[in-house]
Structure 1
Amino acid sequence: MTYYHLGELIHIQARKYKNRTALKYLLSNDKWVSMSWEEFSEKIIKTAQAMAEMQIEPGDNIGIYSQNMAKYLITDFAAYANRAVMAPMYATSSPSQVEYIVNDAGIKVIFVGEQFQYNNAYKVQQESPILKKIIVFDRNVVLKPEDKSSIYFDDFITTGDNSESLALVNARLRQLKGSDLATIIYTSGTTGEPKGVMLTHDNYMEAFKIHETRLTRCSDKDLSMCFLPLTHIFEKAWTYYCLCKGITIAVNRDPTKIQQTIKQIRPTLMSNVPRFWEKVYDGIQQEIETASRTLKWLFEDSVRTGRKYNLMYKNQGKRAPASIAVKFFLYKLTIFHLIKKVIGIDRGNFFPVAGAPLSDKINEFMQSIDVRLVYGYGLSETTATVSCFPEKGFTIGTVGKIMPELEVKIGENNEILVKGKTVMKGYYNKPAETAAAFTADGFFRTGDAGKLTENNEIILTERIKDLYKTSNGKYIAPQMIETRMTEDKFIEQIAVIGDKRKFVSALIVPNFEYLRLYAQEHGISYGSVEELAGNKVIHDYMFGRIELLQAQFTSYEKIKKITLLPHPFTMESGELTNTLKLRRKIILQRYADEIDKMYKE
Structure 2
Amino acid sequence: MQNICHLSKLILEQAKKYGDRAALSYRDYDLNKWVPVSWKEFALNVQKVSFALLRLGVGVQENIAVFSQNKPETHYVDFGAYGIRAVAIPFYATSSAAQITYMLNDAQVRFLFVGEQQQYDVAFSVISVARTLERIIIFDPKVKKNPTDHLSVYFADFLKQAVVGGIPETLKDEYKKRQADANYDDLCNILYTSGTTGQSKGVMLTYGQYREGFRVNDAVLPLSEDDVFLNFLPYTHIFERAWCYLGLTEGALQCINLRPADVQRSMQEVHPTCMCAVPRFWEKVYQAVLEKMENGSFMERKLIREALEVGKRYWVNYRAKGKNAPMGLSLQYKLYDKTIIKLLRKTLGLERANFFPTAGAAVSPEVEVFAHAAGINMVVGYGLTESLATVSCDIPGKPVTIGSVGRLIDKIEIKFGENDEILLRGKTITPGYYKKDSQTKEAIDADGWFHTGDAGYMKNGELFLRERIKDLFKTSNGKYIAPQMIESKLVLDRYFDQAVIVADKRKFVSALIVPSYKLLEDYAKAKGISVASREELCTHPAIIKFYTERIETLQQDLAHYEQIKRFILLPHPFTMDNGELTNTLKVRRRVVYEHYAEQIEQIYAEAEAEAAAKA
Same fold (TM over 0.5): yes
Contact 2:363–2:403 under 8 Å retained in 1? no
Q: In structure 1, what residue type is equivalent to 2:404?
A: T
Matched, 1:415 2:382: no
Matched, 1:32 2:5: no
Corresponding residue for 1:50? 52
Corresponding residue for 1:534? 539
Matched, 1:394 2:400: yes
Matched, 1:282 2:283: no
* Alignment equivalent of 1:347, drawn from 322, 332, 352: 352
Q: After TM superposition, list the pairs within 5 Å mapping 1:278-357 onto structure 2.
A: 278-357=283-362
> For residues 227-253 of structure 1, what are the alpha-carbon distances to aligned partners after superposition, in whole Å with 9 as ceiling and x for unaligned?
110001010000000001111101111
Query: RMSD between aligned alpha carbons?
Result: 1.2
* Runs (5+) with no aligned partner, structure 1: none
CA positional deviation for 1:255: 1.2
Q: After TM superposition, list the pairs within 5 Å mapping 1:499-510 onto structure 2.
A: 499-510=504-515
Corresponding residue for 1:379? 384
Q: Distance in 1 between matches of 2:150 and 2:299?
A: 68
Corresponding residue for 1:478? 483
CA positional deviation for 1:2: 5.5
CA positional deviation for 1:136: 0.6
* Alignment equivalent of 1:103, drawn from 87, 102, 105: 105
Corresponding residue for 1:156? 158
Contact 1:83–1:180 under 8 Å retained in 2? yes
Q: Distance in 2 between matches of 1:501 and 1:447?
A: 23
Q: In structure 1, what residue type is equivalent to 2:412?
A: L
Q: Distance in 2 between matches of 1:598 and 1:146?
A: 51
CA positional deviation for 1:514: 1.9
What secondary structure is seen at the aligned counterpart in 1 of 2:188? Answer: strand
Q: Distance in 2 between matches of 1:492 and 1:287?
A: 18
The two structures have a TM-score, normalised by structure 2, of 0.96
Q: In structure 1, what residue type is equivalent to 2:374?
A: I
Q: Distance in 2 between matches of 1:506 and 1:139?
A: 46
Corresponding residue for 1:12? 13
* Alignment equivalent of 2:178, drawn from 172, 185, 190: 172
Q: In structure 1, what residue type is equivalent to 2:182?
A: L
Contact 1:24–1:248 under 8 Å retained in 2? yes
Q: In structure 1, what residue type is equivalent to 2:327?
A: A
Number of residue equivalences: 599
Structure 1's consecutive aligned runs of 4 or more residues displaced over 6 angstroms after TM superposition are: none
CA positional deviation for 1:160: 2.0
What secondary structure is seen at the aligned counterpart in 1 of 2:582? Answer: coil
CA positional deviation for 1:293: 2.7
CA positional deviation for 1:317: 2.5
Q: Distance in 2 between matches of 1:135 and 1:299?
A: 51
Deviates more, 1:421-430 or 1:282-291: 282-291
* Alignment equivalent of 1:596, drawn from 598, 601, 614: 601
Q: In structure 1, what residue type is equivalent to 2:357?
A: P
Q: In structure 1, what residue type is equivalent to 2:90?
A: P
> For residues 256-314 of structure 1, what are the alpha-carbon distances to aligned partners after superposition, in whole Å with 9 as ceiling and x for unaligned?
21122221111111111111111111110011112233332222221121122233222
Corresponding residue for 1:206? 212
* Alignment equivalent of 1:496, drawn from 490, 495, 501: 501
Q: In structure 1, what residue type is equivalent to 2:173?
A: A
Contact 1:410–1:452 under 8 Å retained in 2? no
Corresponding residue for 1:257? 262
* Alignment equivalent of 1:406, drawn from 412, 425, 438: 412
Q: Distance in 1 between matches of 2:457 and 2:449?
A: 16
> For residues 206-245 of structure 1, what are the alpha-carbon distances to aligned partners after superposition, in whole Å with 9 as ceiling and x for unaligned?
1101101121x22110000111100010100000000011
Q: In structure 2, what residue type is equivalent to 1:205?
A: R
Q: After TM superposition, list the pairs within 5 Å mapping 1:97-246 onto structure 2.
A: 97-161=99-163, 162-164=167-169, 165-215=171-221, 217-246=222-251
> For residues 78-136 of structure 1, what are the alpha-carbon distances to aligned partners after superposition, in whole Å with 9 as ceiling and x for unaligned?
00001000111000011111000000000010000001111111111132221001011
The two structures have a TM-score, normalised by structure 1, of 0.98
Matched, 1:427 2:428: no
Q: Distance in 2 between matches of 1:290 and 1:143?
A: 48
CA positional deviation for 1:166: 3.0
Q: Distance in 2 between matches of 1:43 and 1:132?
A: 23
Deviates more, 1:338-347 or 1:289-298: 289-298
Contact 1:219–1:246 under 8 Å retained in 2? yes
Corresponding residue for 2:22? 21
Matched, 1:60 2:66: no
CA positional deviation for 1:324: 1.5
CA positional deviation for 1:518: 2.0
> For residues 8-66 of structure 1, what are the alpha-carbon distances to aligned partners after superposition, in whole Å with 9 as ceiling and x for unaligned?
11111111111211001122322211111111111101110000111101110001000
> For residues 443-483 of structure 1, what are the alpha-carbon distances to aligned partners after superposition, in whole Å with 9 as ceiling and x for unaligned?
1000111111122x221111111110000011100001111
